[in-house]
Chains A and B, each alone.
Chain A
Amino acid sequence: MDASFDVTKHTLVPKHSKLTVEQVTKLIGEYNISIEQLPRILKSDPAIKTLDPEVGDVIEIERKSPTIGKAKYYRMVMNG
């Protein structure tokens, strides 16, 4: 496959962005959870390559939703 292909530009790849530390604390407080209780995303996931993710970062994903149009999902970066 062409190495220069940018998956984040693809229509089927939702928008990924990294949360700041403050945003993470707010999120954790909102749901009353630890970050380990978030769903995971691989550090090597092509969709977040450009975000320089570190293990333990939280990624916000803005997905299309059939019920409300756009829904926000959060994932913790894990090794792999």
Chain B
Amino acid sequence: MENIYKKIDKISFSLLSPQQIKKMAHVKVVTPELYDKEGYPVEGGLMDTRLGVIDPGLRCRTCNGKLKECPGHFGYIELGRPVLHISYIKAIYTFLQTTCKECSRLLLDEESTQKYAAKIDKLKTSGKEELIPKVCKLVRATAKTVKKCPHCKAKLTPVKFEKPSTFMEETKRVTPIEILERFEKISDADVMLIGVDPRFARPEWMVMGVFPIPPVTMRPSITLESGERAEDDLTHKLSDIVRINQRLFENINAGAPEIIVEDLWDLLQYHITTFFNNDIAQVPPARHRSGQPLKTITERIKSKEGRFRHNLAGKRVNYAARTVISPDPKIELNEVGVPVLIAMELTVPERVTEWNIDWLKKFIKNGPKIYPGANYVLDGTKKKKITLETQEVILEELAPGQIVERHLLDGDISIFNRQPSLHRMSIMCHKVRVLPGKSFRLNPSVCNPYNADFDGDEMNLHIPQTEEARAEAEILMEVETQIMSPKHGLNVIGCIDDAVTGNYILTKDETELTKEDAVRLLISVGVEDSETLNSLKKKISGKQIFSAILPKDFNFVHDKVIIENGQLKTGQIDPKTIGEGNGTLLRDIHRNYSEAECVDLFGKIFKLGIAYLQIRGFTITTSDADIPEEVREKARAVIQDAMTSVTDIIAQYKQNRLKTFSGKTMDETLELMVMQKLNETRISIGKMVSKSVSEENNAIIMSRAGKGNIINLAQTSMIVGQQALRGKRIERGYKNRTLSLFKEHDKSPEAKGFVRHSYKNGLNPVEFFFHAMTGRDSLMDTALRTPKSGYLYRRLANALQDLKVEYDGTVRDANKTIVQFAYGDDHIDVSKSENGTIDIKKIIEEVSKK
């Protein structure tokens, strides 16, 4: 708290009074013209040189400042007739409703006026200012209901608001002139009671008689390549306003008929409305000649493309690239494949020294168009572009101290990112690997932390430009430092798909390879020491090959998987040991070896799986879903059993004999019982299927290691099972039935979405329909949930973004106020734990062993 010496307590916003507008103005604008024939700004025009400078070299005629020194100055115009300010239209309405049209007093009798005033006074003196708005709200609500003025006894007609900016009393329009007259008469005390502080905002200031012209610095014109000047949208709008205003004046002075004047008045109101906000319902947006809507004041500020989210909260950078991503299992985990085209555009600044000058000269000789080349040379403050013409001069002048911006090379540090960046693993540091092609290549294992797939995803690449930035990226953000997730202490990076399946099959007890195959496999994976390779015998088991890549001092036990001194003794490698999220083997390696060794070993395991699967081959066929006839027979009996017991339950229900569960109605009980029965059947059939199928079955292998689940096989071969909508059996459709071919109140499984056939044997039309229903529902669900949860997360992250764990273990916000007294109550850094806990026993055992 000591560092804060001035703190913003409050900000008060107020309205500009006509006097203030005139006082801050330096120019009275009188003509809609911008430039004269020579192209100079017209005096008294919208680009008057007293409104500020936008051209370099010129000086402001008001403050004599140069470009960037002069902040710009306001001008003003006198409006022919007053106009309502669109942003205050609601407030104007309230004032019209709560004050008398004759005497302009608040529509409350003397007594209650005094009562409310006293209340507000009391709140003010007792320091409870925040409650005043509530009293004012009450005042407004009561005043709105009054039908006769308690002061001048005038009979009141209710004011009606007609969008966007007209007010009617019965059939008569209340013109802005009348509004202005009424508002001017309202006393300060009444204004206060209605809820507006008259020191900062008088109601009549919401009706504009003079209009401020913003400085040219906030609406600069751009000079196009053709030499033409293109004016800002605001300037266009302002010239409309000034033009119509002039015509209005002329017509009034010439004594034109009231209809014409009123038409022009409405037009002026339209232009001023759209000047402030061009996105109002009922108001057609003002457009360019091309038809695209003008971007006026509100549009500059509001929403995603507005000043806040786009310019203030959003940042843009150089040395970045974005393209489609695709997988490459042959590159390392911490590498990113960069297309040559991008590598020639992104550069690394390299300071010239006497030791690297010859090396850097090669890049300059290649120039910007031949791959490993260079684009610029920085000599002090000069930036020299390398071209065919300048190349020789630059080469000659090249001296230590200059900086060469050379193309990306293999091994350069880069930062790789995929939006939405929801956690810290969404942006990691990778080593560059320049590759042909046009997409970024990444190891499929890092898809999980980025949440990326290859259906057209794009990712961003950044090249840090200073030594410090590169060091920081390497130390804090390298992929190998991010393997353990800070949210649960498990590995976010692991083997997936082919890599798991390959290792699973390889480490099966029966797997055996010839020496030739084994050597080829190990070399392709990157095992190159001849000792290991020579020690291989004629026939080698899969477990031995897997052991060959493990470090010699590695010990590991998990269920049946036992590794002793780097030898896999028993057990089969599966997702539980090397998969993502819960790979215990990977976690042990990560804990016991350095990060470099860890990544190297991980890469080898991954490549071994893929390479072996490539030799062996892997596919799935329809016969994988063939189930022996006796098992099918048994399953049919199970289904039949279930059906009879369900019929039985329904019969009990119909006779009202069903015993209800506590807290449930009879109907609910029936549903629960039937659902439970049907689920049981599917589970028991699933078990029968997995028992009857051989270990060689491809679908089983997939479900154990790789994609898929045993349920998929059961659904394909035996029974699809109950289709559920929102956790219930299907209910919707016709009155008291799902389809017209069922009787009303039919509670039987087949009438409520039970699919008893398998995908392989085919669904009947009714089943197919129910299946399509749930399929469509889940599709809709995912499509709608993603953006909703995304926004939810954005709000949560914004609310928590400055919470931080301090050195004393407390969680504090930006003001250093405590939010949690001990991080997670137990001070445990989750990323250094295992699933949130630290196994002290295990640590002691391991330490005492050594």
Contacts and interface: CB of A to CB of B under 8 A. Distances in A.
A71 B817 contact: no
B821 A33 contact: no
Contacts of A37: 1, 812, 815-818
Nearest to B822: A71
A15 to B, nearest CB: 16
Counting chain B residues whose Cβ lies within 8 A of the other chain, the interface size class is 10 to 19
Contacts of A5: none
Contacts of B329: none
B810 interface: yes
A72 interface: yes
Interface string B816-834: 1111111011101000000
Interface string A24-47: 000000011110111100000000
A34 B1 contact: yes
B195 to A, nearest CB: 23
Contacts of A4: none
B818 A39 contact: yes
B571 interface: no
A32 B807 CA distance: 12
B836 A31 contact: no
B808 interface: yes
A67 B826 contact: yes
A71 B825 contact: yes
Contacts of B817: 36-39
Given A31-B808, A37-B816, A67-B826, A72 B1 contact: no
B486 to A, nearest CB: 15
Interface in B787-831: 808, 810, 812, 815-822, 824-826, 828
A73 B821 contact: yes
B825 A68 contact: yes
B819 to A, nearest CB: 7
A41 B808 CA distance: 23
A25 B691 CA distance: 68
A65 B825 CA distance: 7
A34 B810 CA distance: 14
A31 B824 contact: no
B824 A67 contact: yes
Given A31-B808, A31-B810, A67 B825 contact: yes
Contacts of B820: 73
A72 B821 contact: yes
Interface string A42-74: 000000000000000000000001011001111
A36 B7 CA distance: 16
A52 to B, nearest CB: 22
B826 A68 contact: yes
Contacts of A38: 817-818
B818 A32 contact: no
A33 B825 contact: no
Contacts of B815: 37
Nearest to A30: B808
A33 B828 contact: no
Contacts of A73: 820-821
A19 to B, nearest CB: 13
B contact patch SS: loop
A65 B812 CA distance: 19
A67 B819 CA distance: 17
A67 B821 contact: no
Interface string B763-790: 0000000000000000000000000000
Contacts of B808: 31-32
A32 B815 CA distance: 14
A74 B818 CA distance: 9
B487 to A, nearest CB: 14
Contact of A67 (B1, B810, B816, B828): B828
A71 B828 contact: no
Contacts of B822: 71
Nearest to B820: A73
A74 B808 CA distance: 16
A29 B808 CA distance: 12
A71 B826 CA distance: 9
A74 B820 CA distance: 9
Contacts of A74: 821
Contacts of A36: 817
Contacts of B818: 31, 33, 37-39
A72 B819 CA distance: 12
Nearest to B823: A67
Contacts of B836: 67
B251 to A, nearest CB: 60
A1 B824 CA distance: 36
A32 B821 CA distance: 12
A71 B824 CA distance: 10
B831 to A, nearest CB: 15
A2 B696 CA distance: 68
A67 B822 CA distance: 11
A39 B819 contact: yes
Nearest to B812: A37
A35 to B, nearest CB: 10
Nearest to A70: B825
Contacts of A68: 825-826
A29 B818 CA distance: 14
A8 B815 CA distance: 32
A5 to B, nearest CB: 23
Contacts of B826: 65, 67-68
Interface in B180-220: none
A43 to B, nearest CB: 14
A9 B185 CA distance: 60
A71 B816 contact: no
Interface in A5-23: none
Given A32-B808, A65-B826, A68-B825, 9 more contacts: A31-B818, A31-B821, A33-B816, A37-B812, A37-B815, A39-B819, A67-B825, A71-B822, A74-B821
Which 3 pairs across A and B sit closest by C-beta, in order of nearness? Answer: A71-B825, A65-B825, A67-B826
Interface of B: 1, 808, 810, 812, 815-822, 824-826, 828, 836
Interface of A: 31-34, 36-39, 65, 67-68, 71-74
27 contacts: A31-B808, A31-B818, A32-B808, A33-B816, A33-B818, A36-B817, A37-B1, A37-B812, A37-B815, A37-B816, A37-B818, A38-B817, A38-B818, A39-B817, A39-B818, A39-B819, A65-B826, A67-B824, A67-B825, A67-B826, A68-B825, A68-B826, A71-B821, A71-B825, A72-B821, A73-B820, A74-B821
